[in-house]
Amino acid sequence: MKFFIDTANLKEIDEARSLGVLDGVTTNPSLISKESVSNKKEIHQHYISICKRLKNNENVSAEVISTNYTDMIQEGEELAFLHPKIVVKIPMIKDGIKAIKYFYNKKIKTNCTLIFSTGQALLAAKAGASYVSPFIGRLDDVSYNGLNLIREIKNVYENYDIKTKILAASIRHSLHIIECSKIGVYAVTSPINVIYSLLNHPLTDIGLEKFIKDFNKKIK
Ligand code: G3P
């Protein structure tokens, strides 16, 4: 399973890279707004800085702000032409589906975001999305089981050998990542602190402390 990091922060991307587990990056407008960028030029420059941190087969999803077809096409093309590692992130709305089809025909990769149902995932795949981003945590927040959605989309895609990749998003804790790996999704995209939380087990800490204590008792 691929580990994407859900951030626009260059330090966090570098941290995930130095941990040795980075396979790609996803951003969204809220994440971009947390960085020191205040206009389109700076945002584009920021995306290029992210791209420069990525290896050959890795990519970064950059989301359009527009919500109508014509503007989405213009904005998406601008993003795609910035760097070959950019995947255009498009919201799951009617014009978004049309835009995904347009980009598919142009061989520009897309990530259809804000997926909360299997029907939406099916439609995005039909239009030719390279990735879909179902939001697990936000579904859990409203008392739906986000992981069940991931299972259902995976089953449906397998029924028809659909090539669209599931990039499980809105990851809130380590169990989301573990369960996604059991389901067999292509990738999870998560904040760096959730990746770090995979490290934790009390028996590891107790065991390590004992190993070192035993060793130091005997060996000078
Ligand atoms: O980038 C999309 C998604 O991962 C957002 O997550 O935590 O804001 O629901 P969250």
Q: Is 138 in the pocket of ligand 1 (CB under 6 A)?
A: yes
For ligand 1, the distance from its centroid to the CA atom of residue 40, given in whole angstroms, is: 22
Q: Is 173 in the pocket of ligand 1 (CB under 6 A)?
A: no
Which pLDDT does position 203 carry in this prediction? Answer: 98
What amino acid positions are annotated as catalytic residues?
A: 89
Q: Is 131 in the pocket of ligand 1 (CB under 6 A)?
A: no
Return d(Cα 113, Cα 107) in angstroms, integer: 18
pTM for the full model? 0.95
What average pLDDT does the segment 105-110 reach?
98
Which pLDDT does position 173 carry in this prediction? Answer: 97
What average pLDDT does the segment 114-134 reach?
98
Report phi then psi at 186, rounded to 5.
-65, -45
Please, what is the average pLDDT of the chain? 97
Which pLDDT does position 31 carry in this prediction? Answer: 98
Whether pLDDT at 220 is above 90: no
What average pLDDT does the segment 138-157 reach?
98
For ligand 1, the distance from its centroid to the CA atom of residue 109, given in whole angstroms, is: 20
Confidence of residue 131 (pLDDT cuts 50, 70, 90): very high
Which pLDDT does position 137 carry in this prediction? Answer: 98
Q: Is 28 in the pocket of ligand 1 (CB under 6 A)?
A: yes
pLDDT tens readout for residues 195-219: 999 999 999 999 999 999 999 999 9
- Closest residue to atom 9 of ligand 1, CA basis: 170
pLDDT tens readout for residues 25-34: 999 999 999 9
- Closest residue to atom 4 of ligand 1, CA basis: 170
Max Cα-Cα span within the chain: 73
